[in-house]
């Protein structure tokens, strides 16, 4: 009988740990009270954490940008309440995109193709203890080395719970189909992305091209956009494995109906939203600024429309349904070029 109890005890312990992760969302003291209880060490010159600066600063309460972000939070909450009927527990896998800055009390959920390279550079500056001063001094490939930044999945359930309660949580999103086309262009039309060509391109061509040439099957380097769309809406794709993070939906990466984000930044207003986040940390006073990005290489709405010209309305509708929650949660209008009727 004693042996039979061991698996039950292990199961109960595991379930209890998972419950700790999600418990923060439902009850407990407010951020100000909890900061006092926990004695957080990352207060800046103002003596306030970024979370306190956001919710308890009289100066911010009346700024137009603060009101914009307040409306974004409210809309996100409304859409979650409307479309999420049954909430599930967060798992460690759900937390792998949440980058942790213990020095300033930040949790950043990165979404590929939404300036995440520059945001990871900034986070390396913030967490580097003076090792870095200028984000652009950090090579792009260094920003994506997993060991250079901690994620929330690296912590114990108790530590996860504390950070979810007391840290400022933010993410940046982008018009979903512009992000999708940007991912396609970067991963399938650039000669240097041979790993993606072999990993995904060969499979897409094998399944979604009639009479492919032996060279195309071997190289996978000439995937057409319509073939990429067929791959995304093919039910077999997600049954076999999760979407790659570069075309996974933002809500599936960051779980905004489970994690209460304090700031929802947008790629379309990147510079002012990034400055807003850094001002809450006080990092801007220390000379840390978000890098200016080149608009020359950005995928625009008109370019995205051009890619969709060759997609039949039936497939447009199926693809839109796949990304519909990102449009709803983050308040993006249905693109005028789509034929959804």
pLDDT at 294: 64
Mean pLDDT of residues grouped by 10 in the chain (341 residues)? 45 44 43 42 64 81 88 97 84 95 97 97 93 93 95 96 97 98 97 96 97 96 98 97 97 97 97 95 89 77 96 98 98 96 79
Secondary structure of residue 88 in the 3-state scheme? coil
For residue 69, count CB atoms less than 10 angstroms from its CB and return exposed for 0-12, middle for 13-18, buried for 19 or more.
buried
Alpha helices in 93-175 (DSSP H): 116-127, 140-143, 157-166
User: What are the pLDDT digits (tens) for 252-272?
Assistant: 999 999 999 999 999 999 999
Measure the CA dihedral 236/242/243/245, to 10°. -170
First and final C-alpha spacing in the chain: 63
Bridge partners (DSSP) listed for residue 26: none
d(CA 235, CA 107): 33
pLDDT score at 56: 83
- CB neighbour list of residue 59: distance below 8 Å, 6 or more residues apart: none
Look at residue 296 in the predicted model and tell me its pLDDT. 57
- pLDDT for 293 equals 73
Q: Which strands sit side by side in the sheet containing 263-266, from one edge to the other?
A: 98-101, 106-109, 168-173, 263-266
Closest CA to 263 of 166, 331, 137, 169: 169
**Residue 43 pLDDT:** 45
Q: What is the pLDDT of residue 199?
A: 97
What is the reported pLDDT for 87?
74
Instruction: Please tell me the predicted confidence (pLDDT) of residue 239.
Output: 96
pLDDT at 102: 96
Give the Cα separation of 275 and 220 in Å (integer).
Answer: 40
- The DSSP bridge partners found for residue 264 are 171
Residue 24: predicted pLDDT? 47
With beta carbons less than 8 A apart as the criterion, state whether 327 and 249 touch.
no
β-pairing verdict for 106-109 and 168-173: parallel
All structural domains of the chain with their residue ranges: 39-176+249-297
The pTM for the full model equals 0.87
Strands 98-101 and 106-109: antiparallel
- Contact yes or no for 162/31 (Cβ under 8 A): no
Residue 109 forms beta bridges with which residues?
98, 171
């Amino acid at each position: 009988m004693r042996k039979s109890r061991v698996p039950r005890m292990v199961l109960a312990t595991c379930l209890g740990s998972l419950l700790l992760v999600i418990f923060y969302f439902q009850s407990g003291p407010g951020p100000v009270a909890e900061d006092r209880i926990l004695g957080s060490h990352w207060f800046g010159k103002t003596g306030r954490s970024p979370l306190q600066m956001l919710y308890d600063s009289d100066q911010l309460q009346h700024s137009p940008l603060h009101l914009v972000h307040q409306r974004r939070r409210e809309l996100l909450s409304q859409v979650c309440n409307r479309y999420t009927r049954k909430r599930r527990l967060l798992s460690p896998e759900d937390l792998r995109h949440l980058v942790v800055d213990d020095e300033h009390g930040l949790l950043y959920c990165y979404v590929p193709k939404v300036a995440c390279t520059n945001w990871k550079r900034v986070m390396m500056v913030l967490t580097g203890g003076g090792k870095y001063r200028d984000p652009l001094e950090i090579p792009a490939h260094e920003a994506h080395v997993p060991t250079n930044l901690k994620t929330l999945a690296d912590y114990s359930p108790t530590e996860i719970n504390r950070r979810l309660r007391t840290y400022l949580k933010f993410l940046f999103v982008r018009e979903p189909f512009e992000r999708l086309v940007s991912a396609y262009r970067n991963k399938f039309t650039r000669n240097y992305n041979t790993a993606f060509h072999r990993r995904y391109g060969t499979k897409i061509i094998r399944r979604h091209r009639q009479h492919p040439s032996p060279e195309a099957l071997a190289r996978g380097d000439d995937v057409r956009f319509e073939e990429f769309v067929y791959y995304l809406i093919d039910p077999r794709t997600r049954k076999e494995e999760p979407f790659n993070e570069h075309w996974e939906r933002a809500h599936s990466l960051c779980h905004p109906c489970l994690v209460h984000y304090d700031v929802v930044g947008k790629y379309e207003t990147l510079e002012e939203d990034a400055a807003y986040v850094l001002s809450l940390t006080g990092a801007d006073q220390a000379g840390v600024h978000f890098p200016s990005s080149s608009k020359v290489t950005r995928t625009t709405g008109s370019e995205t429309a051009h890619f969709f010209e060759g997609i039949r309305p039936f497939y447009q509708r199926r693809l839109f349904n796949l990304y519909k929650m990102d449009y709803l949660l983050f308040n993006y209008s249905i693109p005028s070029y789509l034929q959804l009727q």
